[in-house]
Structure formats: C-alpha cells, structure tokens
Amino acid sequence: MEIAGLLANLGLGFAVAVSLQNLLWCLAGAVIGTCIGVLPGVGPVATMALLLPVTYLLPAEGALIMLAGIYYGAQYGGSTTAILVNLPGESSSVVTTLDGYQMARQGRAGPALAIAALGSFFAGCVATVAIALAAPPLTRLAQQFTPPDYFSLMTLGLVFAIVLARGSVLKAFGMVFLGMLLGLIGTDVNTGNLRYTFGISDLFDGIGFMPLAMGVFGVAEIIANLTNPERAELASSKLSGLLPTREDMRRSIAPILRGTALGGLLGILPGGGAILASFSAYTLEKKFSRTPEKFGTGMIEGVAAPESANNAAAQTSFIPMLTLGIPSNAVMAMMIGGMMIHGIVPGPQVMEQRPGLFWGMIVSMWFGNLMLIVLNLPLIGIWVRLLLVPYRLLAIAILFFCCIGVYSLNNSANEVLMIAVFGLFGYLLMKLDFEPAPLLLGFLLGPMMEVYMRRTMLLSRGDPWVFLQRPLSLCFLLLAALLLAFVVLPNVRKAREAAFHE
C-alpha cells in the first residue's frame, strides 16, 4: 500500500480529530468508558445503547468518536476493578483477576495497573495503525462485492457469531433465527405488505433497534443485577509505588507483543472481540512460559498479555464494521446504530463519501488511548471510589436514562412501552441461558440479507445456484460450512468449552 496515501489519509484524520470539539467528545467517551468499565454490571453495550439517542444531537464525527471511546475506555477501566477488587469490571477482564488480584494482594497493585495501562496503550497504538493499513485494501475488495457475495458474507458473520457465542451452539442458532424474524416485523420494503404487525400501527415501521437493544441489554440486566447485588470489597486501598520495576518491564515486553498480535487478529474475525482475545492470550502466555504452574499466583505476564490483547481486539473489531458494514459483535451493532441515526449507511462507501469521518475516527482512537493512559494512572484512586456507589442507586439512574433516552428519539411513549416488553423478554432469555448478542446481530443482518437475497434472485433469474458459482460467495459459504462442521465435532467442542470456562 502506498505510504504517501496512507500518510495523507492519516493527516486528514488528524485534522478532524484534533478539532477542539472532537477532542472533547473523545475525552467524554474515554471518561464514560472508564467509569462504566470500573463498575461491574454496567457494560459498554448497555451504555452505548443508552447514549445513542444523545448522539443524535451531536455531529456524526463527534458521535462516533465518543461511542468508540466508550468501548476501548471500558477495556482500561475493567482492568482496574479486576486488579484491585477481584471483580471483573468487564467480561473481557475476567482473566486479569487471576494474576492481577494476586499481585494486588502482595502489595504490587501499582505495577499491575501500570503494566495493564501501558500494555493497553501499546496495543491501542498498534491496532490503530493496523486499522489504517487494512481498511483501504479491504474496502477496495468490498467494492467488487456483488449481492450474492454480501449475502454469503453475512451468513458467514452470523455463523461466526454462533460459533463464538458462549454456551450451547443450538441456542445461539435459535437466537440468530429469532433475531432475524424479529427484524422482519413491519412493512416489507419490496412489496409493501405488512408482516407480524397485529394491526398495531407502531409496528408498521418495524421494531426499533434502540428499544430492542435497551430492553434486552439495559433493562434485563437491571433486573438480573438487582437479584444478586455484588458487594465490592477493596482488597488493598493502598496504592504505593505505581512504577513497575525494570524486572517487571523486561518480563512484560514479550507478553505485550504476543498479546497485541493475537488480540489484533482475533478482533478482526466476525464474532470475535475483546473477551475471546483476553482468554486466548492468557492461555497462549501459559504455553510460552517456562513456569506455567506459577500462573494464578501473581505473574505479571498474566496481566500484560490479556490486557494488551483485549484492547487490541476492541479496536481491530472496527475493521469489518468500517470496511464491510457488517457488525461483528454487539458493540459494533451499536456503532452501526449510531451511524444509521445520522443517516450514514455503513459499508465500503463510507470511506469514500465521508473520508473525514472515517479517518477522523481512526486517528481519534490513538488520541483516546493517550488520554486514557493520562486519565487512568494518576486518577486510579478516583475511579475506584466509584465502586462505593451502590447498585440500588445506579439501577434507578440507569432505568431513568433508558426511559428518557428512548422517549427522546421520536417523542414516543409507545417506544418506552416496548423497552418494558423487551426487558422482560431479555430477562426470560437470560434465565433460559440464551445469549442476547446473536439475537441482536440477527436482527440487524436479517433484513439486509433479505434485500441481498432478492437482488441475487432477480439478477440470476431465479437460479439459487449462483451463490455457489460466484467465487467470493462460494468461499464465504465454504468457510461457514467448515466452521459449523468444526463446532459439531466433539473434540473441538470440548476445547471450546474449556476455553470459555477457564
């Protein structure tokens, strides 16, 4: 790829990202992300869902920069809670509790936090460059996609979401199908026929993405969290000696590099993301270590690798969303929601039509990472204080913001009623051990797939074999079939279960 073009693009992005307004939105995203990252039980998906209506008031650049900041900010904040309190603030920092908390108990919380932040920063910088390098060629490839290619790529994305979902594969299948079916509710755009509307006029335009996301992720989580409120006990409030020793640094360099590389790769996979990356990086580090039996007793490698990996993956998971317009996880689904609010159709054309937005967002990620390291290290004491706010009060605030947020979108009280319905529905799904993320992806991709299926059939004059005749489409479908075959094989299934249970 031409270096000059890359530099010109990054320069354009730099110009957008350093505007005072956008720097402020980036800071806002990073701060909010850190807060919710520190708080267990409040995740980035729910927060982004909450803030989507607010982003309606911002310019598109500011909105997306802030939303992105929330996601990678949460990765930083999550590690703070994991190390100091032994509670993962985010699900992606579960493995950090293993060694990070042990280090804190030995009075070495400072070095653990510093290495986590430095590793995250390094990974964030590398991932930013990776996005800038990978986006243009992928976008060029995507521009040659025909309708059957898109259809098959989306199928592949859904298969990835199923394979990588926690728990039962069959249930993940069910969630994808159900999500797609929910996505079809409303007026069929091609024929004008109504589907599953029961004569309710609020359903003629379909179920809104926002009420569904806020209900299933926001309200349902409040119900679940109120049932068993977790009490945070500060393990070691004394934070003496932030700086890691030279020995710590030396031992962390290789794990940070490996974690960044592995996390960056896993982030690009559709359905991948920060959680998978941190687990795999920890396992990999154990394999590389000469003293694997010492993991879990406060090894700095066990903090450095997963923390770098989750941040790298959090950022590279933007690649499929930015270049192909396909959400690879629930967070990216929120980003797509944010784009659609501003009338931007996600896909390869974004880079050409809105270069300022595209490159500005990428460069802002680097700024965001810089702000996060400045925010996190000296201010850790303040973030930890946040844990003192009891969930019984947070619940009240979160529910209110859910209600007013959905109401403000269309000034429609009926959409608020919908989040009540989806909240209960989401709680039911949780109880039955269904994961809601594949549902949301199916909901977003279902209607798109129908459009591409119809275009394909029209172009091929009703011949369905065209899906297997186009080389790209055939590749995607073969890959999807291969993945599914793998999950059904017993050996792989056991390994997958082990990876999720560690």
Partner 1 sequence: MRMRSSQDIAAGLLLLAFGLAGLWIGADYPMGTAQRPGTGVLPHILSWCLVATGVLIWLKAGLAGSPPLSAWAWRPAIMVTLATVAFALLVDRLGLVVSMIVSMTFTALGTPDTRWREYLMFALLMLGLGVGLFIYGLGMPIPALPTGYPWK
Q: Which of 18, 129, 235, 420 binds partner 1 (CB under 8 A)?
A: 420
State which residue, 224 or 379, has the beta carbon closest to partner 1.
224
- Closest approach, Cβ 321 to partner 1, in A, equals 24
Count residues near partner 1 (CB under 8 A). 63
- Closest approach, Cβ 300 to partner 1, in A, equals 37
> Can you say whether the dihedral through the CA atoms of 142, 269, 493, 174 is positive or negative?
negative
218 has which bridge partners?
A: none
How many residues belong to the chain?
Answer: 502
In angstroms, rounded to a whole number, what is the distance separating the alpha carbons of residues 10 and 23?
A: 16
- Closest approach, Cβ 388 to partner 1, in A, equals 13
State which residue, 261 or 437, has the beta carbon closest to partner 1.
437
Q: How far, rounded to the nearest angstrom, does the alpha carbon of residue 364 sit from its chain's CA centroid? A: 17
**3-class DSSP assignment, residue 63:** helix
The mark string for 377-416 relative to partner 1 (x by CB under 8 A, - otherwise) is -------------x-xx-xxx-xx-xxx--xx--x-xx-x
Q: Which of 377, 440, 388, 375 is nearest to 69 (CA)?
A: 375
In angstroms, rounded to a whole number, what is the distance separating the alpha carbons of residues 317 and 205?
A: 30
Helix axis angle, 330-341 relative to 436-459, nearest 10°? 60
Contacts of 482 (CB under 8 A, 6+ apart): none
Residue 419 binds to partner 1 (criterion: CB under 8 A): yes
Single out the segment in contact with partner 1 by CB under 8 A; choices: 6-14, 329-337, 369-377, 424-432: 424-432
In angstroms, rounded to a whole number, what is the distance separating the alpha carbons of residues 479 and 377?
A: 43
CB atoms within 10 A of CB 171: 18
What's at 18, amino acid-wise? V
State which residue, 352 or 433, has the beta carbon closest to partner 1.
433
- Closest approach, Cβ 90 to partner 1, in A, equals 23
The mark string for 164-203 relative to partner 1 (x by CB under 8 A, - otherwise) is ----x-xx-xx--xx-xx--x---x-xx-x-xx-------
State which residue, 6 or 453, has the beta carbon closest to partner 1.
453
The mark string for 306-345 relative to partner 1 (x by CB under 8 A, - otherwise) is ----------------------------------------
State which residue, 146 or 414, has the beta carbon closest to partner 1.
414
Q: How many CA atoms lie within 13 A of 216 on its CB side?
A: 22
State which residue, 230 or 352, has the beta carbon closest to partner 1.
230
State which residue, 227 or 491, has the beta carbon closest to partner 1.
227
State which residue, 151 or 282, has the beta carbon closest to partner 1.
151
**3-class DSSP assignment, residue 269:** coil
The mark string for 443-482 relative to partner 1 (x by CB under 8 A, - otherwise) is ---x--xx--xx--xx--xxxx------------------
CB 456, CB 467: distance < 8 Å: yes
CB 137, CB 131: distance < 8 Å: no
State which residue, 333 or 439, has the beta carbon closest to partner 1.
439
Phi-psi region of 107 (alpha: psi -120 to 50; beta: other; left: phi over 0): left
CB 341, CB 363: distance < 8 Å: no
Single out the segment in contact with partner 1 by CB under 8 A; choices: 19-27, 30-38, 226-234, 239-247: 226-234
- Closest approach, Cβ 338 to partner 1, in A, equals 18
- Both structure tokens of 49: 């869902």
- Closest approach, Cβ 396 to partner 1, in A, equals 5
Tell me which residues in 251-310 interact with partner 1 (CB under 8 A): none
In eight-state DSSP terms, residue 349 is H
> Can you say whether the dihedral through the CA atoms of 168, 174, 177, 180 is positive or negative?
negative
3-state secondary structure 242-267: CCCCHHHHHHHHHHHHHHHHHHHHHH
Q: Which of 320, 325, 423, 438 binds partner 1 (CB under 8 A)?
A: 423
Strand pairing category for 194-195 and 186-187: antiparallel
State which residue, 18 or 409, has the beta carbon closest to partner 1.
409
What's at 378, amino acid-wise? P
Q: Which of 359, 366, 427, 452 binds partner 1 (CB under 8 A)?
A: 427
Q: Which of 7, 133, 226, 489 binds partner 1 (CB under 8 A)?
A: 226
State which residue, 257 or 453, has the beta carbon closest to partner 1.
453
**For binding to partner 1 (CB under 8 A), which residues are involved?**
57, 168, 170-171, 173-174, 177-178, 180-181, 184, 188, 190-191, 193, 195-196, 219, 222-224, 226-227, 229, 390, 392-393, 395-397, 399-400, 402-404, 407-408, 411, 413-414, 416-417, 419-420, 423-424, 427-428, 431-434, 446, 449-450, 453-454, 457-458, 461-464
